[in-house]
Amino acid sequence: MTDFFKGIPQIKFEGPQSDNDFAFRHYDAEEVVMGKKMKDHLRFAAAYWHSFAWPGGDPFGGATFERPWFGDTIDAAKMKADVAFEMFQILGVPYYCFHDADMRPEGEDFAENTRNLETMVDCLAQKQADTGIKLLWGTANLFSHRRFMSGAATNPDPDVFAFSAATIKTCMDATMKLGGENYVLWGGREGYETLLNTDMGRERKQAGRMLQMVVDYKHKMGFKGAILIEPKPQEPTKHQYDYDVATVYGFLKEFGLEGEVQMNIEQGHAILAGHSFEHELTMARELGIFGSIDMNRNDYQSGWDTDQFPNNVPEMALAYYEVLRAGGFTTGGTNFDAKLRRQSLDADDLILAHVGGMDACAAGLKAAAKMLDDGKLEAARNDRYAGWDTDTGKGLMSSDLDAITAQVLADKINPSPRSGRQERLENLVNRYL
Ligand code: XLS
Ligand code: NI
Ligand code: NI
């Protein structure tokens, strides 16, 4: 045991009336909602990077956090793992997620990186066995080190492509060894700053080839989990190729990978792309590529990826409504890819940020389940499209312009508009919260 979280109790469900900061008001892991325990609906995961590796910098100032485990040694990495697993246990999250670079010290070269990774994978495997906490997903950090400044797969230098491919292989090996349920690819610098120095055609082909190799390796190694892409429109690069769910779907089609890759959708990235979270979730469900979520929100004014813990229950409700409509998570889950504000220095802050986030998700999930159970929203939606279920409606989909024109004339078709009833539906949604 470290003493970082000294005095902080295991967080328990006490119900909405509780006055205790260190308690859940809505998240009761064992409560059954729509036939499934809440813990199995939400499949919470805490993330290694923001909580334990991020030092609290911003563009105007450096580190604000001074954690005893900061430092590039194996001993420091092991202390970080101790503290991380203590937090996972205090919160009762069933899963965690990591990048290679968050949990191993940075080596001099690829070989040393790999040795460090393997040492830490053994350490994490032991901790998983001791605690029963599992890995939701692993991923490679191909954006922090300066070698990746012009991209990883999309780099103009083939040596960087090679270094990235080899690093992804070691991270997929690590994920498989730790029983990870997914492997995530987020293309942080797979994009460009200026077209003046960019060959977009080559870069997109390089990215497509890398993804094909990842899928091939998944099958070769017998990894049963899902490969997930996390779309994001910009930041850190000005323009990123994995802009949003729809863009990534086109990319998967182009490289013959639809059916092989699903989406990890982040609330903040959806906002950066000019969408709502539920838009991205719905798009993924409709395209059959819904996988998992990163449940961290953006500030609506800042216009950059602020990675805040979720606390807006109405937003969570609409998000989980779409998750439930997609049939819920299979390999995916709710990952808090969220960081504290840089003034939130204390161990308490780290725990309470997660407690609030988990509670907001639980409240959202319960409201979503009520909405779906009640069925009024779906009934209204179905009613709006009911014309398409008639023989005339169905016939249009297999007709042609000549026949339809004849039909409009013969039947004197003269559409009369109907209300979209938006306000009525918004009022209805508020009744479930
Ligand atoms: C950054 C991304 C990143 C991915 C994993 O904006 O959200 O944290 O989730 O590489
Ligand atoms: Ni993000
Ligand atoms: Ni993310």
Q: pLDDT tens for residues 86-121?
A: 999 999 999 999 999 999 999 999 999 999 999 999
Same domain membership, residue 245 and residue 174:
yes
Query: Is the Cβ atom of 139 under 6 angstroms away from ligand 1?
Result: yes
Question: Ligand 1: does its nearest atom lie under 6 Å from the Cβ of 134?
Answer: no
Q: Say yes or no: 361 and 421 in one domain.
A: no
Total structural domains within the chain: 2
The answer on 320 and 425 residing in a single domain is: no
How far apart CA 265 and CA 244 sit, in angstroms, is 9
H/E element holding 213?
Answer: helix 200-221
> Band of the pLDDT at 304, cuts 50, 70, 90?
confident
Q: Which helix or strand (DSSP H or E) is residue 239 part of?
A: strand 239-240
DSSP codes, 100-165? HHHHS---SSHHHHHHHHHHHHHHHHHHHHHH--EEEEEE---SSSGGGTT-STT-SSHHHHHHHH
**Counting atoms of ligand 1 from 1, which one is nearest the CA of 99?**
10
Res. 342: pLDDT tops 90: yes
The chain-wide mean pLDDT, for the chain, equals 97
Q: For residues 235 and 263, is the Cβ–Cβ distance under 8 A?
A: no
Q: Indicate if 134 and 282 belong to the same structural domain.
A: yes
Residue type, 356: G
In a domain, 31, yes or no: yes
Question: How far away, in angstroms, is 258 Cα from ligand 1 center?
Answer: 22
Residues 261 and 403 in one domain: no
Determine whether 99 is an active site residue: yes
Q: Which atom of ligand 1 is nearest to the CA of 143?
A: 10
Q: Is 232 in the pocket of ligand 1 (CB under 6 A)?
A: yes
| Structure tokens that stand for 191 in this block | 């994009």
170, burial (CB in 10 Å: exposed 0-12, middle 13-18, buried 19+) = middle
Do 406 and 302 reside in the same domain of the chain? no
The pLDDT score that the predictor gives to residue 355 is 98
Domain span holding position 407: 391-431
Spacing, Cα 231 to ligand 1 middle (Å): 9
Say yes or no: 228 and 308 in one domain: yes
- Measuring CA to CA, which residue among 151, 166, 135 is closest to residue 43? 135
How far, in Å, from the CA of 130 to the mean position of ligand 1? 28
Residue 302, pLDDT above cutoff 90: no
pLDDT tens track for 401-427: 999 999 999 999 999 999 999 999 999
User: What average pLDDT does the segment 179-194 reach?
Assistant: 98
- pTM for this predicted structure: 0.97
pLDDT in tens, 233-286: 999 999 999 999 999 999 999 999 999 999 999 999 999 999 999 999 999 999
Kindly state whether residues 276 and 309 are assigned to the same domain: yes
Q: Specify whether 365 is located in the same domain as 395.
A: no
Catalytically annotated residue among 26, 41, 50, 102: 102
406 and 358 co-located in one domain: no
Please state the rounded mean pLDDT for residues 138-158.
Answer: 98
1 is a domain residue? no
Residue nearest to atom 5 of ligand 1 (CA): 186
- Do 88 and 133 contact (CB within 8 A), yes or no? yes
Selection from 357, 365, 358 nearest residue 322 by Cα: 365
337 within ligand 1 shell (Cβ under 6 A) = yes
Which residue among 50, 99, 269, 275 is the active-site one? 99
Asked if residue 406 and residue 345 are part of one domain, the reply reads no
Is residue 25 domain-shared with residue 82, that is, in the same domain?
yes
Is there a domain that residue 348 lies in? Answer: yes
Cβ neighbours, 10 Å, residue 339: 22
CA gap 301, 299 in Å, rounded: 6
CB count in 10 Å sphere of residue 79? 19
pLDDT at 35 over 90: yes
